[in-house]
Amino acid sequence: MDVGPVAHGGHCVARHQGQVVFVRHTLPGERVRVRITEGEVGDRFLRGDAVEVLAPSPDRVERRCPVSGPGGCGGCDWQHVSTEAQRGLKADVVREQLRRLAHLDVDVVVERVAGDQDGLGWRTRVQHAVASDGHLGLRKHRSHDVIPIVTCPIAHPRVREVELAAPSWPGTRSVEVIAAAGGDGPLVVVEPLGRRRPRLPAVEGASVAVAAADGLQRVRGRSWVREQVQVGDWQAGLRVTGSGFWQVHPGALAALVGAVLEGLDPRPGEQVLDLYAGVGLFAAALGERVGPDGAVLAVEGSAQAVRDARRNLHEMPHVGITAGRVDEVLANALDQGLTADLVVLDPPRTGAGRVVVEQVAALRPRALAYVACDPAALARDVATFAGLGFGLSRLRAFDCFPMTAHVECVALLEPTG
C-alpha cells in the first residue's frame, strides 16, 4: 500500500481496493507491505501493521526498543520516527481535529519538553503487566497478551533500576513503578492476583504498597510520593498517593503550569475556578498568583486526590476544595451565585463535555484555560464553547509523551463579544 496522512491514534491512513486501512509502524508517503490484524473485507475499515518497508520516508529511523515493532508492545507508536518528525505528526493531528470538529484553521507547533534524552528515559510512572511466569512485561497493542521486557527504554532511569533489580513478581497482576521528582526513592504499587498477599521482592530504597479493595495497603516505606514542581520563582512540593493522576514526563508540569499562568495572567484579588483539580497543582499555582485577597475553588471527583489536595493546600486558606462530580458541584454552586474571573479545566481524556462547558460559559469568566490530552475531545469542547460566545485565542501543544501518539495542549479561550 501507498501510505497517506497521519491519523489520530498512532497510525496512518491507507487504502486497499477502496477500503480504508489504519496502518501502524509506517509514515506518510511510504510504500509498505501490510499485514491485516483486525477486520474483514466489507468492514468500514481495517487495521494493519507495516511488516515490510518498500520505500521509506526520510524521517524513518531505527527503532530503539526491540519489542516496539509489529506484533510487539503497544506502548510506543513512533519508535521508528525521528523525534522532530514525531512532533510534526502530532501537530498535524491537532490541526486536523480542530479543522474537522471545530471548523478552525490553527497554526500548531508541538513544543519539545525538557527532561528526556531524545525521546527516551522520561516516563516516571510505568504500569507493568505481569506474565504467567511472574516476569514483568507490557501489553501487546490492542490485546491482553503480555510482552516480557528487560527494561523499557522510555522509562525514567530510576524506574529502569527497579525493573532490573526485581524482574519477577510472581502472584501479581500488575506492578506500577513510580519515580517521583521529589528525590525520594521510588514507590512500587502491586495488584495481587488473588486475595492473599504474594511474597514481594525487596528493592533497595523503594517503598512498596498493595492495591486492595479497601484502598492502598502500605508494605514498606510510604504509600505516597512527593512531587516537586518549579515554574520561574514559584515552586511547590505536592503529595500524590499511590497511582493517583500525575503527569509522567519530568518537564510536563512546568510546561503546562507555565502555559496556563502565561495565558490567564492571574491578578491579585481575582476569583478562580479549578475544575478536575487532582491533587491541587493548578490551584496551588493560581492561589499564589491571586494572593490572600483572591480565592480559588478546586473541584475534584476522586476522594483520594481530594485528601491529597487538602494536605497540599492547607497553608493556603484562600484556596477551597470541594469533592464531587464537576457537573453536580457546578450546578449547585451556580444556584448559589458562584462567580469566577478565571477558569482552568483539566478533564480526563473524554473531555469536559457539553454540560460542563455550558456551566462554565454561564459564569462568563474573562478567560479560561483548557488543558487537554486528547485533541478530538478538545476540538469538540472548543466548538461547544464557540457556540456559547467563547473563542479560541491561543493554543500551545507540548510533546509530553515522546515515542507515542499522545500530545498535551493548553487552549486559551476568551469571550468573543
Domains and CATH numbers, the chain: 1-60 (2.40.50.140), 125-223 (2.40.50.1070), 226-415 (3.40.50.150)
Positive or negative CA dihedral for 158, 406, 116, 61? positive
Residue 327: predicted pLDDT: 98
Q: Is pTM, for the whole model, over 0.75?
A: yes
C-alpha distances in angstroms, 304 versus 72, 215, 269, 310, 376?
35, 9, 30, 10, 29
Residue 184: predicted pLDDT: 82
Buried b (16+ CB within 10 A) or exposed e, 251-277: bbbbbbbbbbbebbebeeebbbbbbbb
For 279-305, what is each residue's pLDDT tens digit? Answer: 999 999 999 999 999 999 999 999 999
- 385 touches 378 (CB < 8 A): no
Residue 404: predicted pLDDT: 98
For 226-246, what is each residue's pLDDT tens digit? Answer: 999 999 999 999 999 999 999
Q: Can you spell out the DSSP letters for 48-80?
A: EEEEEEEE--TTB---SSTT-STTSBSS-S-TT
| Phi-psi category of residue 116: left, alpha or beta, with phi > 0 → left and psi -120 to 50 → alpha | beta
Q: Which three cell numbers stand for residue 345?
A: 479545566
Q: What residues in the chain have per-residue pLDDT under 70?
A: none
Instruction: Give the DSSP H or E segment for 158.
Output: helix 157-165
Q: Which residues are catalytic?
A: 373
- 404 touches 78 (CB < 8 A): yes
Residue 63: predicted pLDDT: 96
Residue 41: predicted pLDDT: 86
Residue 212: predicted pLDDT: 85
Closest CA to 165 of 206, 222, 125: 206
